[in-house]
Amino acid sequence: MPAPALKTVSGKFGRHIYTIDGKSVSKKKYGAASVINDGLALLHANKNELALEKFKQGISLAPDLPQAHHALGLAYAKLGRLDEACTELKCAVALNPVTESAWLTLACFYQANDKPELAVAAYNDFLKKFPNSPSKRKVEAILSALGKGDVAFEPGFEKP
């Protein structure tokens, strides 16, 4: 998953403007994204328990930040806590259904955890939501390898 792109600029009257991925956000949400970036560095260094704590901290600061749930799902998966991983990945998609990386992570998670029907459905839904994605050919190849395609999927995602 890509790290949230953080930027701070000075605005009118000496106030700071905080952005995540080019969108203006509160200082609290910006702080949460900063903690998530720290956690991603830990996750990449295989310090999974420490990363998990950072991601939980980020969620406590901004529970509606999809990147935090996506990252927490990855950490849970690396720790073998599959039910919790699935819950967090679903939450990330529910919070921001137009994020390609969250959809692909969820589909890959299903595939890697021997849930082929859910994987096929999630990949098909990805193709419907992102027909011009650079990942389109790879997803089509995965579906072909799975021997499936064109399965409707609109899960009832709920926030945990």
Domain ranges of the chain: 1-96, 99-153
What pLDDT score does 5 carry?
52
Cβ density class 96-117: b for 16+ within 10 Å, e for less: beebeebbbbbbbbbbeeebee
Could you report the average pLDDT of every consecutive run of 10 residues in the chain (160 residues)? Answer: 50 60 75 89 96 96 91 94 93 90 91 90 94 94 78 38
pTM, whole model, 2 decimals? 0.75
What pLDDT score does 32 carry?
86
What pLDDT score does 6 carry?
46
Q: What long-range pairs does 97-102 form, CB within 8 A, spacing at least 24?
A: 97/129, 98/129, 99/66, 99/70, 100/126, 100/130, 100/133, 100/135, 101/1, 101/2, 101/70, 102/1, 102/66, 102/70
Instruction: Please state the CATH superfamily assignment of the domain spanning residues 1-96 in this structure.
Output: Tetratricopeptide repeat domain (1.25.40.10)
